[in-house]
Structure 1
């Protein structure tokens, strides 16, 4: 067996990179979760999976709290809300059996890291169709160190984590002419999200422009475009009005005339306003260029001169550049991962035409420097607060929580969570939500009401709020300061009218129980904490 492995030394290098990535990423993300730094989206997906194994597919009270009915019409979140109106994600059904075996939000973290790690190995096999082992191993290493890969891996579980594996598999199937597998993976890509057809459309465009498989490429373009339009205009609105009244408006409202718009109306708005389209494409120009440089950096900027990279990755990039909001150009969040497959495939094709470049020591050194810079920027950006124990969340003003303090605080939270029955309805602050999300009735605090399966509006039985974390971070983050203020107002209100009793208070974490008398010791601790933050409240 050793002799066989010696025949494939660069495969061993790729496997070593994959193992190192898997171990480090899994360690960091599990630490992130168990120290209460995983946040709301982790809770949403965990509740979706939990409801799924109980036969209530894609339902989520946490998603309902983000729906247009709640956000814009002040409705009460409901437990039977179907998330498919926000994001159409049937591909998640693939992982329901795994979750049924290990029903925990940590399972989703393991799944996320595993899918991304597997994508890198498929990328190596794909690269070997064109280039020699050393170049293929270097490309795989670039994948595992890319900011657009590492950042979105060190975060909450998200549906886009399936995209690199599916797209690399699709491209490998194309190279091997395994058209049955190509068709299966094309369907799976479309099933990831309502907008994943944009990336598949780019693959079709490449197949046409390269003249390799123009007929199949034309079919891919037609299917992906038609599916996306049909889905977002006819199918998703059957579940809720979120796609037109919230998500389209939040991302592309600048192209709409009213308070809501379908994807077709947004496209028509772009056609009618070409000047606005051009401005949006390049603005803000410095941030747009920094984003492109960050995407190209781990591959030594090769995708910038690869026509195939532009053909495939150009459409996901176009979607990001034409949108509005800070998150569209954030390299550390999930949307950046949609661009990755096209860039790496384009780099493979470029290297297949310029293998002599790799023989130059100066270029190899330059590539290594690019990888190191990419890793440096990734680490120093502290993606998704995953390495807050190493990198402060803010330098000015200073916000830093040490590793022992994180685990000490987490221990206090766990002692309070043990007092909440597994089937009780509950409201929790953002970073506690994932740990309680394996239940039917849960919302984010300071919300306290939801609509249950009987269609009755009820107050939740328990509420738990981590005020310590909000206090620590509010000095640098205005959102945390406002949430802290809102939480204090809510606690004062429900405890003052005796709707909820304060039953425990530890290390800045308060536990409330509906219809129960106050615990005098807990109230005393709470009042002491509250006096300490009077200046913040003013």
Structure 2
């Protein structure tokens, strides 16, 4: 029972923070709206298409995450973006169970519970909670349970927990292969070799065959561009931040090697968004570093390690998404957000809409939503346009707004922070 306490508390915190953020119109089409469109497609017994990424874009041609179909029963019962956010909160929180269980065995109930809480409050986990919804929420618990099995030398169970990572995202077969490599290092050559070969084969099949098959250009769109020597200060800071939550004790364990595939593809990429500590990319690293720390901590660390982990996590929380829970404003009614959502309800269900990134996830549960300012265009003109009632500093948005009359749009409503336009029937 004690083992579950941190997980339950974390679920409540994660769910409250993310759902409240969405209700206050702070979620985004990229990526909450995109994932809802894909899951909505599955729930309607169709393809996981995402109009926000473009007309007819099949999400399996972008990233490979068929595991998302597991959310369909919940989405059919409770359709809407909050279902995704609550599911993500539950999956991330469950990952604290194996970490807490292992920590209690190493440090006792009090110290282990503190480490479990520190894991759940770690910056990588909070970044994932604070940036909408992503498929990696499935990877975090699978990896956490697999790592616990590695520490316990339950080799077959470790592989069984790791294998579904192949269905989460196309970069994770490399992590599964790393699990196999860990087994080989510990003398389990047959099982480890089979795991490595299976993971490599699956990864090549996904990137070379499956994703191109669903992609309109028949390619994998994230394979080009490399900059391993660019942004070195930022990359070094990321490595430092990955190791700091454990007081650098994670480096004592070979389990830390399982972080190399994720850090490798991120640092190799030419996209600077992957290099730093923002967004959700570091969530999968948190179970690795915490379990590596717990693999064989030095005896003298029993006195200070739980306090360090919890204090460091608590300090960073003052600058991270869960800090909003301590802000009195979070618990007061947000009249502006309520008015914005009421204004958007003037758009009828089933309509086609070009919406701003901030407004899109308020509509994806009941409309076909495209991203403004890329749409409307001469080739595709949704019936409605929804944009913020505020000046924009984006030249593309300014130009798109000015072009609306020439595309046949007229103002339909304004106020409550929203401008609505509708297309004339004869246009």
How does the TM-score come out when normalised to structure 1? 0.72
Tell me the alpha carbon deviations over residues 428-447 of structure 1, each in whole angstroms, 9 at most, x when there is no partner.
10011111112463101123
- 2:368 is matched with 441
**Are 1:52 and 2:28 an aligned pair?**
no
C-alpha contact 2:105 2:112 (8 A) present in aligned 1:
no
User: What stretches of structure 1 of length at least 5 have no aligned partner?
Assistant: 1-10, 66-77, 256-279, 392-401, 452-456, 472-479, 518-538
Instruction: Tell me by how many angstroms 1:46 deviates.
Output: 0.6
Distance 1:124 1:408 in 2: 40
- 1:196 is matched with 172
Structure-2 change in CA distance of 1:389 and 1:326 (3 Å): farther
- 1:515 is matched with 424
Q: 2:254 aligns with which of 291, 304, 307?
A: 307
Q: 1:35 aligns with which of 21, 24, 29?
A: 24
- 2:213 is matched with 238
The equivalences for 1:234-383 within 5 A come to 234-240=209-215, 244=219, 246-249=221-224, 253-254=225-226, 280=228, 283-309=230-256, 311-351=257-297, 354=298, 356-360=299-303, 363-364=304-305, 367-380=306-319
- 1:225 is matched with 200
Tell me the alpha carbon deviations over residues 391-448 of structure 1, each in whole angstroms, 9 at most, x when there is no partner.
9xxxxxxxxxx76998222122122111111101111100111111124631011233
3-state SS, counterpart of residue 397 of structure 2 = helix
Tell me the alpha carbon deviations over residues 311-368 of structure 1, each in whole angstroms, 9 at most, x when there is no partner.
21122222222222222123242211122232222112122xx2x22443xx24xx52
Instruction: Tell me by how many angstroms 1:287 deviates.
Output: 1.9
C-alpha contact 2:353 2:370 (8 A) present in aligned 1:
yes
The equivalences for 1:379-418 within 5 A come to 379-380=318-319, 387=324, 407-418=334-345
- 2:381 is matched with 459
Q: 2:399 aligns with which of 480, 489, 493?
A: 489
C-alpha contact 1:208 1:217 (8 A) present in aligned 2:
yes
Q: 2:410 aligns with which of 501, 509, 521?
A: 501
Structure-2 change in CA distance of 1:120 and 1:92 (3 Å): same
Structure-2 change in CA distance of 1:52 and 1:147 (3 Å): same
Structure-2 change in CA distance of 1:389 and 1:121 (3 Å): closer
User: What stretches of structure 2 of length at least 5 have no aligned partner?
Assistant: none
Distance 2:154 2:61 in 1: 36
C-alpha contact 1:194 1:228 (8 A) present in aligned 2:
yes
Higher helix share: 1
Instruction: Tell me by how many angstroms 1:234 deviates.
Output: 1.6
Q: 2:352 aligns with which of 416, 425, 438?
A: 425
- 2:184 is matched with 208
Rg larger in structure? 1
Identify which range, 295-304 or 159-168, moves more after superposition.
295-304
Distance 2:301 2:86 in 1: 35
Instruction: Tell me by how many angstroms 1:91 deviates.
Output: 0.6
C-alpha contact 1:299 1:371 (8 A) present in aligned 2:
no
3-state SS, counterpart of residue 501 of structure 1 = strand
Structure-2 change in CA distance of 1:321 and 1:157 (3 Å): same
